[in-house]
Amino acid sequence: MIERPHHLPGRLGLLSATAADPFLTEDLLRGVQGHGGVDLAKVVEPLPEDDARWAVEPLRDLVDDAKHQFEAARTNADGWLAPRLHATLRLTRREASDQRLWNHLALAVAPDYVAFRHPPAPRRGGGPPRINRDRFKGAADRQCFSRLWWLAEMFRDGGDYTPVVAACANQDLIHNALRLDLLDHRPTAQALVRVLERGVLSTGREINGLMTAINTAGATLVYDVLAPDEPRDPEALRQWIAEAESAPPVPRHSLPDGPDEEPVPERSVVALTDYFAELFETAPVRGRTLQA
């Protein structure tokens, strides 16, 4: 069992994929034993010392709490951790796009959480079960922590993280969501949550079918026309990031507050939710026969 690193850095840094490779050992990927961390610290690029956001302790406390609370239902940890990770690690989208930051968080700060949330699984070619390497240093939709941050970023409704929790409750949705460029359109993200809450969808096949239909329709239909959105206020995000130094730890039993941005226009969410519900009626769902 991988344990909390003995040598825990005080601050986040940047760990390149190449520098990370030697530390993705067979013992680590099999969930047997982690690394000491001392040698890893030698290949990390430091982040600015005067930025309070890079402190490791608040992030480490979060993953410890998640491990304790969700031992019996590990997938449920996503909906709890995603909004709190986002509100603790206040990033711009440009900063969050730097996979070196997530590599460092996964390998130097919380490799035990990666193994907890994504434990070793059987391989197609046989051999002992292993943790997928992508959970430590993969693409944004696969890496253990970046996927949670981006889910919170895309599904939050201004400063309200409630839709994030609803989205994370369905693993089929979140597996597909980060691959859709349409989720940069805020009403689309909120409408997907509303469709789920209506009970229109119930299986992974149905969700996959609707997502395919939404992506296809998006090539011919301009969602901005059907469901216009208000532009984000960059000043609200800048202010929220600037307040990181004085912000208290995120609450554990209630949701934190995100940037003080305007919520998604309700009329746009309703219009798009109705459209997606209708679209689902003819969506290509494997195993479903459409009535003529």
Mean per-residue pLDDT, 261-266 = 96
Compute CA 154 distance to the chain's CA centroid, rounded to the nearest angstrom: 9
* pLDDT over 80 (residue 220): no
So what's the pLDDT on residue 286? 62
Residue 257 CA to its chain's centroid (Å): 17
How far apart are alpha carbons 185 and 154 in whole angstroms? Answer: 9
**What confidence tier does 292 reach under pLDDT thresholds 50, 70, 90?**
very low
pLDDT in tens, 52-99: 999 999 999 999 999 999 999 999 999 999 999 999 999 999 999 999
Return the pLDDT at 290. 52
The residue whose two tokens read 């201004």 is: 158
Q: What average pLDDT does range 228-235 have in this prediction? A: 89
Of 253, 13, 221, 215, nearest in space to 109 by CA:
13
Give residue 147's pLDDT.
95
Which class for 257: exposed (0-12), middle (13-18), buried (19 or more C-beta within 10 A)?
middle
Q: What is the residue-averaged pLDDT of the chain?
A: 91
Beta-bridge mates of residue 130: 121
In the chain, % of residues over pLDDT 70:
96
pLDDT at 208 over 60: yes
Q: Under 8 Å CB-to-CB from 288, ≥6 apart: which residues?
A: 205, 206, 209
What is the pTM (predicted TM-score) of this model? 0.93
Length reported for the chain = 292
Residue 288 CA neighbour count, 13 Å, CB half: 19
Q: What is the mean pLDDT of residues 243-267?
A: 96
The pLDDT value recorded for residue 44 is 96
249 CB contacts (<8 Å, ≥6 apart)? Answer: 58, 61, 88
The per-residue pLDDT for range 4-34, each reduced to its tens digit, is: 988 899 999 999 999 999 999 999 999 998 8
Percentage of the chain beyond pLDDT 90 is 69
User: 122-176 pLDDT, tens per residue?
Assistant: 988 778 899 999 999 999 999 999 999 999 999 999 999 999 999 999 888 888 8
